[in-house]
Structure 1
């Protein structure tokens, strides 16, 4: 199916002194001569200028922490979605997916069901609005067809918070691979989908969501295992609490584990622990639940940090990075 061209302004502004740059297709070379695609060069600047970055795009959605995890941490996962007004006729189900073949924003299967991909390029700074626009388009796309390009959104257009049922919890299911792309588990992928499936499965990092705490994901890498835990607490209060625990020698998850820092993603903070390579996901369950209790006590503390706690806090913030 031919890709639709998004309506775009005729020019965008290059860095000072360069003059205006003609706008081209998102995947075409940028006319400024950088060698990068337009969407990764001047197209990105134009999109960001058009829409101010929304730092917590999933705020107010049930399972905000898991939305962030599925966007940034988890290779292969799905979760059922429920619309406020119910599914339209001819759409038997709606499913959130981490990534889809060829990084399609969405896919409408032959039976009319819709998969919405959360890990793809979006045209503006409001991820929630962009995903809502993709979802709206997917619901009316011809069965058996993907949405290959995220549609343009305007300020004031619906966001996910406007479309999804606020009372329906997000319940992610983590998969070992990407066979959920296929309509039928017995069906064989062909052509570009088969090639994309093979690449995705080869690159997927084994990942498990813990059952006992919210939005904590274990993963296995060749050198060591990790636990990455998306937390809903205000950043400053959370870092203070982690510093209190770290200074007290209580920030780990058991023998051989270590809190190595944190990163920011979509307005939330994600602490990261190194784990021994022999520590499986199920062995993290009890230590994580106990840590959650210690963290709650540390979050409730109101006194100033001690000198040792301030040093611990400095170490944590010096290693902190921001993904978006």
Structure 2
């Protein structure tokens, strides 16, 4: 069962992973001089402004199960964070969620301007594939190609982008729990699933091991979104670092609007238990992923 409190280990592990990924992002997205300097500045603003780095954490610790070289895992982790941050920049735009605050700071289009924010998102998206395709990410070209393909699928119209389209189209519509689950498996879950699958790809994992990590990630992703809905419904903007109540104001159907607060909490806990069950085949090596499950269920921001 999910424990009532997150172990101290997850805080230390998350901080360690975040520091390592931040250093790698700083190395990969270096400031430049010249006319294009502003877009690099905006890209750095979007990626270096904090965040828990949950997706990189998942990738690093999934890769660790298979003893993947840390340098390979860190480059892949930086790539997934680039793609994630691109999605946040674009989601915050007036044409999408129209948000003014992200991670406790002005959103990219507020700190710069809308055109620069769009280009910064485009730059981060394409750089993610540049990083994955580089020989420094893995000596095996087949592994690099598989990483690029998996990220393209999970981040594109069959994954995150498709989920965002459904989300936009569903405003002021009545969705059932199946439709909400499908929406969130694409919008949020697909990238979380890639974060775990990438560790298996880097480690030449067996089909059974790969499916176990994907199953864990799918359940974790849904639990993550339910908690996100709970935080939007009853969280504190000062603690979450972004506006709350936005879903209800936009008339969006969410897990909370369909299930209610208490049933949504119960469902998140059930999904957490299911997620951890997928990790049984890895034994103690998967403990950092189990800590993440507890962190997701109990998070306040």
Per the TM superposition, whether the score is higher than 0.5 is no
- The alignment's TM-score, normalised by the length of structure 2, stands at 0.26
Name the one with the larger strand percent: 1
Q: Please say which structure displays the higher CA radius of gyration.
A: 1
Greater relative contact order, per chain length (Cα 8 Å cut-off, separation 6+): 2
Name the one with the larger helix percent: 2
- The alignment's TM-score, normalised by the length of structure 1, stands at 0.25
